[in-house]
Structure 1
Amino acid sequence: MTEIEADGGLRERKKAQRRLALHNAAVELFEQHGYEATTVAQIAASAGVSPRTFFSYFPTKEAALFASLDDAITQLEGALATPPSDGDVLSFLRDEVTEMLGNGGPLGPRASAVLDTLAANHDHIVGHALRYLDRIGQALSHALRAELGSAVDDPLPDIAAAAAIAALAASMPVGHDFPHKGTRTSRPGAESVEVIQRDLDRAIEFVRAGLAATATTPTSP
């Protein structure tokens, strides 16, 4: 490893640590003081950086709350862009989501509980969360379009992706990484993960049936 490569690696680790520190500070301050009373300056000070540095990482204070979820969705988008050839895209999505849940979920119990509280009182927090579902849907649609060989103007991949994302949204409502059992801040038990897997499996079978029916339906002259 060259000195330049070592410096670059160290710089990236420091950036990741600072980003995590800002996320943790946002979670703690939102939990203690609520959304309105918490400022960017407070989050930055708690993480030991300036407000200017904060904005080099996040555009808004709520974006800091979603940092780990944003990372997880970015990884999922990359995975869907190059899915393995030995399987179908829908099953691949199911496996990726299951792995995400098996690792405890992208946000973790404390941040999830804070998100629950904020989402109940601030519509724009809900809107911010829903954008992540939109990102998954777009990535899934592109992957399905490539798998099916669909034309650019064919809406079928969009329709199929929307059905799968609707099931994902229903099984993991906004403000929850997954349906908690017992308390809102408990980590997901096997039963909770199995419920999500079941819902996704049902959605996947529904989408597959629709795709099969569409493929076998003769077109009008």
Structure 2
Amino acid sequence: MGVVDGKPGLRERKKQRTRTAISEAAITLFLEHGFNQVSVAQVAEAAEVSKRTLFAYFPTKEDLVVHRLADHETEIARVVRARPPRTAPLAAVREHFLKGLRERDPITGLNDHPQVRRVHQMILDAPSLVARMDRFKTGAEQALTQALQETADIPELTARLAAVQIVAVQWALAQDNAERLAYGEPAGERYAGAVKDAEHAFSLLENGLRQLTPRG
């Protein structure tokens, strides 16, 4: 049985423990030896499962890393769908990102926990993981496009162009934060600058890039 009285059943709990054990074994090995240097067979051995079992939980090697970010792929879309009445989609996304900065959410790039920084660097060092993150970004754009169409009642092209811009801006802000932290700037010291950059970025989006108009 799956859920009993709102709680996962025994089978589901066992599956979750297996999934967690595989994931933790993978990340430990990848951080110690490098993503490209560790085989799926080595991960399975460390997690004490068969390769077949591993692939049942994680279809590809890249999934062993990217699954930790899976919930974030549709996060912006969920924020848009759950926004309070009469709140503009962009205002809801902006507040959510600023909240993420305050809480040091790793997805904002403003988290200097050693393991978070090492995982970020590991992704950048593995071309297959970089490519997978591009697919992640595309998925976020598609989910946000649909959410904007359904909740803001705007044409598909308008929704798609808005989604591309919003996702790209958050992506760029997070990358800037992560890069600064990678060079040793503490998250606490970066926070004010991260907020300022985010406010500027969302202001550009809100004003339709009017501030790029040449003077004179």
Same fold, judged at TM 0.5 (above): yes
What is the Cα deviation at residue 111 of structure 1? Answer: 4.6
Alpha-carbon distance in 2 for matches of 1:196, 1:21:
35
Match of 1:62 in 2: 62
Name the % identity. Answer: 28
Output the amino acid matched with 1:205.
S
What is the Cα deviation at residue 82 of structure 1? Answer: 3.7
Output the amino acid matched with 2:51.
P
Unpaired runs of 5+ residues, structure 2, are: 211-216
What is the Cα deviation at residue 211 of structure 1? Answer: 9.3
- 1:1-221 matches, within 5 Å, as 5=4, 8-101=8-101, 102-105=103-106, 109-120=114-125, 122-152=126-156, 155-173=157-175, 178-181=178-181, 189-210=187-208
What is the Cα deviation at residue 170 of structure 1? Answer: 1.6
What is the Cα deviation at residue 103 of structure 1? Answer: 5.0
Q: Residue 84 of structure 1: SS of its match in structure 2?
A: coil
Output the amino acid matched with 2:14.
K
What is the Cα deviation at residue 86 of structure 1? Answer: 4.5
What is the Cα deviation at residue 75 of structure 1? Answer: 4.8
C-alpha distance after superposition, 1:128-165 (max 9, x if no partner): 1122222222222223333442133xx22222222222
Output the amino acid matched with 2:146.
H
Output the amino acid matched with 2:131.
G
Alpha-carbon distance in 1 for matches of 2:145, 2:202:
14
Q: Residue 61 of structure 1: SS of its match in structure 2?
A: coil
Q: Residue 181 of structure 2: SS of its match in structure 1?
A: coil
Length-normalised TM-score, structure 1:
0.73
- 1:73–1:132 Cα contact (<8 Å) kept: yes
Residues 1:76 and 1:157: Cα distance change in structure 2 (over 3 Å)? closer
C-alpha distance after superposition, 1:28-51 (max 9, x if no partner): 111222223211121122222221
Unpaired runs of 5+ residues, structure 1, are: 213-221
Alpha-carbon distance in 1 for matches of 2:46, 2:58:
15
RMSD: 3.3
